[in-house]
Amino acid sequence: MSVATTAESESLANSKIPVLAARDLYCERDDRVLFQHLNFELNAGQVLQIQGSNGSGKTTLLRILCGLNDGYQGSIFWQGVEVTEQAEQFYADLLYIGHRVGVSKVLTPLENLRWSSTLQQRVDDAVIYQALCDVGLRGFEESQCFTLSAGQQQRVSLARLLISPARLWILDEPFTTLDTTGVDLLERLLQQHADKGGAVLVTTHHSLQVPDLQRLSLG
């Protein structure tokens, strides 16, 4: 009971300040304006889907929000403070999965996850085994990733979602290589994360089955 009230008050407090907010973003690439006057707010417990045709700047926007691309004008706020002023806290709370999923093909899923978790928060091997089991990679923990299919490698990166303590997930086309069970799994993960007060930014052409889904269209 008391747990529920703290969770409630926390989510109330969180709802006042958006987790991530962008003000007046402007970006041009090769003399072409990708987006301008772009504003949005992402609150705790929300999933924001970014839509747009190919080449409309979805990936660029995500990379700008992560800080991988600094070719933009405007401001990005993390919990009310500009990201550039508190990069360390921001990165401690961010999980990004891009087109390149960040899984070394030479290493095993276990070794990959050991490394990527240590960058943020070290976890026991048992947690990693459990996460790999949850994403359907039981029995593949010790095989090198080049023996896995593209979808399975994508699942290795999804296991990071289970391990990482990050509040903000930024996922670039995470559904592309997944099969139907993988899609269901990811949708469930997104929803669980939102229920726990996390926030998700996702680009996909897939029609997401997540309650309280926000949408932002580019281009």
Partner 1 sequence: MSAVTTTTGAAFIATLRRDLLIAYKKKHDVVNPFMFFLIVATLFPIGISPEPERLGEIAAGVLWIAALLAAMLSMDSLYRSDFEDGSLEQLLLSPHPLYFMVLAKNIAHWLVSGLPVVLVSPLIAYMLNLPDEAYLAVFLTLLIGTPVLSLLGSIGVALTVGLGSRGLILAVITLPMSVPVLIAGTMAVQQTLNGAPLLGYLAILGALLLGSLALAPLASAAALRITVN
Partner 2 sequence: MWLWFSKLGSPKWFYELSGKWLPWLIAVMSLLLIIGIVWALLFVPPDYQQGNTIRIMYIHVPFASISLAFFPLMAVAGTITLVWRMKLADMVAKTAAPLGAWFTALALISGSIWGSDIWGTWWIWDGRLTSMLLQFFLLIGVISLRSALEDTEAASKACAVLSIVGCINVFVIKFSVDWWNTLHQPAGSFSLADDAPNPPEVWVPLVVMILAIYCFFAVSLILATRNEILVRERRAQWVEDLACNS
Comparing CB distances to partner 1, the nearer of 23 and 114 is 114
Residue 165 binds which entry of partner 1, partner 2, none, with Cβ cut-offs from 5 to 8 Å by kind? partner 1
The conformational region for residue 148 under phi > 0 = left, psi -120 to 50 = alpha, else beta, is beta
Report, in Å, the least distance between residue 101 CB and partner 1. 6
- Can you give the binding site for partner 1, defined by CB under 8 A? 63, 66-71, 87-94, 96, 98-107, 111, 114-116, 118-122, 144, 164-167, 196-198
Site string for partner 2, 67-86 (x = CB under 8 A): ----x---------------
Report, in Å, the least distance between residue 215 CB and partner 1. 25
Comparing CB distances to partner 1, the nearer of 52 and 198 is 198
Q: Decide if residue 31 touches partner 2 (CB under 8 A).
A: yes
| DSSP codes joined into one string, the chain | -HHHHHHHHHHHHHHHS-SEEEEEEEEEETTEEEEEEEEEEE-TT-EEEEE--TTSSHHHHHHHHHTS----EEEEEETTEEGGGSHHHHHHTEEEE-SS----SSS-HHHHHHHHHHHH----HHHHHHHHHHTT-TT-TTS-GGGS-HHHHHHHHHHHHHH---SEEEEESTTTT--HHHHHHHHHHHHHHHHTT-EEEEE-SS----TTEEEEE--
Comparing CB distances to partner 2, the nearer of 61 and 128 is 61
Residue 118 binds which entry of partner 2, partner 1, none, with Cβ cut-offs from 5 to 8 Å by kind? partner 1
Comparing CB distances to partner 1, the nearer of 87 and 181 is 87
Q: Which phi and psi angles does 90 have, rounded to 5°? A: -60, -50
Count of residues in contact with partner 2, rule CB under 8 A: 3
Comparing CB distances to partner 2, the nearer of 71 and 165 is 71
Q: Decide if residue 219 touches partner 2 (CB under 8 A).
A: no
Residue 31 binds which entry of partner 1, partner 2, none, with Cβ cut-offs from 5 to 8 Å by kind? partner 2
Q: Is the dihedral of CA 120, 124, 126, 129 positive or negative?
A: positive
Give residues 90-129 in contact with partner 2 (rule: CB under 8 A): none
Contact residues toward partner 2 (CB under 8 A) are 30-31, 71
